[in-house]
Every structure is written in C-alpha cells, then in structure tokens.
Amino acid sequence: MQGNSMQPSSQATVMNFLNEVAGRFPTAISLAAGRPTERFFDRLQPSALLRALSRYEQYASGRGTKRDVMASLLQYGRTAGMIEELISAQLSRDEGVVATPDRLIVTAGCQEALALCLAALCPEPGDVALVCNPTYIGATGAADASGVAIVALPGNDDDLAASVAHTAGELRRQGRTARVLYVIPDFDNPTGRVIDEAQRVALLAVCAQQRIVVLEDNPYGMFRYDGQPVPPMAALDSAGSVIYLSTYSKTLCPALRVGSLTLPQTLFGDRTARMQLFEELTQRKSFLTVNTSQIAQAIVAGLLLEQDCSLRKWVQPAVDLYRDNRDTMLRQLDRVFAPLAGTIGWNRPDGGFFLSLDLPFRFDAEAVTACAVEHGVIVMPMAFFALDASQDRRIRLAFSSVDAAQIAAGVSALGAYIAQRIEQ
C-alpha cells in the first residue's frame, strides 16, 4: 500500500482508536460512528426474530424439504448459502440488480464478500486493486490482510475513467496488473459523493477494455433522500465486469452479519470463467467461515418473506430520520460556519450516512483528542481513509446514529474548535 503514516492499518485500529476516545470521554457527542440508528431496532426484538425464524421454517417446509428444517439450520450448511433466491428477489426489486440465485453467494456481511473477492481476483504478487482516495478502510484493510497491493487513483473523483486508464497503463509499464477496481458509487463512505450515470458508463467501458473487475459496494443505495436514483453499475454492465456487493447491515441490522456477492452472467463474456470464479470464491469461503450462519440467514429470510422481498417500506422510517438528520446537520453547518464562508467547505449529499468537511488546517489524531477533551465532540479525520497526505485537511461527519439535538450541539462544538484553530 502507498505509505501514509496517518492511516491506521485496519478498520479494527480505527474502531479501537475511536472507542478509546469515546471511552475516555463518554459524554462527548460522536459524529464519528457510521452506524445505523438503533431507533428502529425494537422491530427486531427476540419475539420478532423468533417469528421470522418460524416464518422461514414454514416456507422451507412448504417447499418439500424432507429434513427437519430447524435441525438443518443448526447443522453445517451449504457454503454458497441457503437463501439466495430470496436475496436475489430483494436485490432485483429494491436495488435494480438482476441476480439469478446461481450467481449469488451469501456472505458474513459485505466485509467477507470484499475479502473473498480481493483475494480471489488478485492472487499474483503483481496484481493490484485500484481504489478511490479516500476510500472505505474496510476495503483497504481487507486487501492488506490478504496481502493484496492497493493503488489509489490519482486526483479527485471527477474523471475516474481517465484515472483508471492512466493508472492501469502506469502499472503495466511497471510489470504489474490492475485486476480490480473497488468503488462505492452511491453515497460513498467516507465522502458521501455519488458517481453519476455518465461516469459509471465511462468507468464500465474502461474496465471492460482493460479487463478490470469492478467491485461495486452498495451498502447505502437504499438511503436516498433527494433526487433521482442512478442505476447501479451492475445494472449498466453489459460486458460482465461487475461483482455487486450488498448487505443487510444498514437495512436490517449489522449484528446479523448477512450480506451477499453477485457475479455477472459472464466474466468478460466467458460463462465458464464466471462459473470457475464462483467455485473459487465458494472454496475460499469454505476455508474461511464454512458457511454464513444459517440461523442469521433464516431470520433474514423470514423478514424478507414478511416484507414480500422488498425492504423499501421497512427502511422508510430510517430514510425519513436520516434525511432529517442530514438537513439538521446542513442547517447547523450553514449557521455555525457562516462567519467563515470561503474558508470551510462541505458537500450536500443526497443520501447515505456521511458528508465531508474541508478545513484550512491539518486535522489529525491529536486534533480528535483536542476536540473531545476541550469541546466534547468526536469526529473522524478523513486522513484515516486516505492513502496519501491529500486528505489531511478534511473531516468525515456522520449523521446516522445521533439525534437532532446532538447534531446541533456537536456541529457547534466542532465550530468552536475550528474557530479557535483558525485564530491561532
């Protein structure tokens, strides 16, 4: 990985750092955690989970399963999964991704899908995964853990297709090969940006031409608050270059640890190559987690059956809450930073959990502690997600797991810290 002394080496390290700061300052408001709200977890009380389990039991029994369904749930299971059909139905209804069950692997969250794909697609020492900069630390952490080299695309995200073509060419000259492009096209973690349709199409063309597999990670696509949805890259892909990663962590809850990866119909036009990749991924998974918890899969299945394989209605209260939170944060940013207009900037994301704030000074781990100690607010340096020094003057702000009062107070507290730093 390109050197950056600021980036903790793994997601666990970032979490440890933030937990440690939060533990030392338990009353501080955290605008750092990219977690879903717990406000609607009461819909997943033990009684509801049991109802979902028995709903799945009925469904599986009705399909003529000869075995005792509950006993089979407690047994080792099929590595590729047990509920691919229901997940495929949900993906096509909610996310516009047509996924036949034979191309889908149920994973222990999206994190496992990421780790499996990176390792399987980049087996040789010269193989490289391209990433945006900044990017989700779980992806760079997974690559590091599997010994996969990562190269950050240069510049900002304005012309990703040109960056991919340029970087792939540079790597070729070094005797290395860009195999994978990891992207979060909808409401990126950490920046909140969306890749527009024209850029998605251009990226797909370059990746198909260079035979680079796109790992499209879409945990936030269901959380759009304004504007028109942009089709997922997997839905725009005609060349067979996109693997689509999805998760129930944000729509249902993270504790279930259920996500999925969906392979394209053919891998760059080659159906056999896709089937071989499927085998390779399931074999790797069998050595990693054996199978995704069948109890968790059955709960997801029961909930999907209850919701007619669409989670749109289920997530609506959270979508409304997150939209209000985003609006509260934007209003408070406008208010607090009005006197510093032109010095501090931020984006106005149409969805997701995050926005990014640009500062005129460096914001590092020391600044995190100073914010917490002196002002009672915890925020995330963008540098934690970066592969070079380009993000040193930015902060990621999360608005998903706090309430309006906390957002208002947290942004004011951050404003006081920033004003003080600027005056220094």
- List of residues contacting ligand PMP (CB under 6 A): 34, 109-111, 136, 138, 184, 189, 217, 219, 247, 249, 254, 259
337 token code pair: 């930073």
Looking at the chain, the number of H-run helices and the number of E-run strands are 14, 13
DSSP state of 407: H
Q: 253 CB contacts (<8 Å, ≥6 apart)?
A: 36, 41, 44
- In the bound state, the residue with its beta carbon closest to ligand PMP is 109
Nearest distance from residue 358's CB to ligand PMP, in Å?
Answer: 21
Looking at 46-150, list the stretches that DSSP marks H as alpha helix, in order from N- to C-terminal side. Answer: 46-62, 69-73, 84-95, 109-121, 137-145
Nearest distance from residue 182's CB to ligand PMP, in Å?
Answer: 9
402 token code pair: 């706090």
Buried-state track 142-169, b at ≥16 Cβ within 10 A, e below 16? bbbebebbbbbbeeebeebbebbbebbe
Among residues 34 and 302, whose Cβ is nearest to ligand PMP?
Answer: 34
Distance, CA of 372 to chain centre: 26
Among residues 34 and 410, whose Cβ is nearest to ligand PMP?
Answer: 34
Among residues 22 and 70, whose Cβ is nearest to ligand PMP?
Answer: 22
- Name the strands in the sheet holding 380-381, side by side, starting at the edge strand that comes first in the sequence: 345-346, 354-358, 394-398, 380-381
Among residues 134 and 138, whose Cβ is nearest to ligand PMP?
Answer: 138
Nearest distance from residue 272's CB to ligand PMP, in Å?
Answer: 30
**Comparing C-alpha atoms, which of 340, 332, 389, 339 is closest to residue 363?**
389
Among residues 138 and 349, whose Cβ is nearest to ligand PMP?
Answer: 138
Q: 378, 411 in Cβ contact below 8 A?
A: no
Task: Report how far residue 309's alpha carbon sits from residue 34's, in angstroms, rounded to the nearest whole number.
Answer: 26
Nearest distance from residue 317's CB to ligand PMP, in Å?
Answer: 20
Among residues 52 and 131, whose Cβ is nearest to ligand PMP?
Answer: 131
Task: Report how far residue 199's alpha carbon sits from residue 134's, in angstroms, rounded to the nearest whole number.
Answer: 18
Nearest distance from residue 245's CB to ligand PMP, in Å?
Answer: 7
Nearest distance from residue 219's CB to ligand PMP, in Å?
Answer: 5
Among residues 291 and 332, whose Cβ is nearest to ligand PMP?
Answer: 291
DSSP state of 214: E
Nearest distance from residue 14's CB to ligand PMP, in Å?
Answer: 11
Q: 297, 51 in Cβ contact below 8 A?
A: no
Nearest distance from residue 277's CB to ligand PMP, in Å?
Answer: 20
Among residues 116 and 165, whose Cβ is nearest to ligand PMP?
Answer: 116
Nearest distance from residue 109's CB to ligand PMP, in Å?
Answer: 3
Among residues 77 and 109, whose Cβ is nearest to ligand PMP?
Answer: 109
> What's the number of CA atoms in the CB half-sphere (13 Å) around residue 389?
3
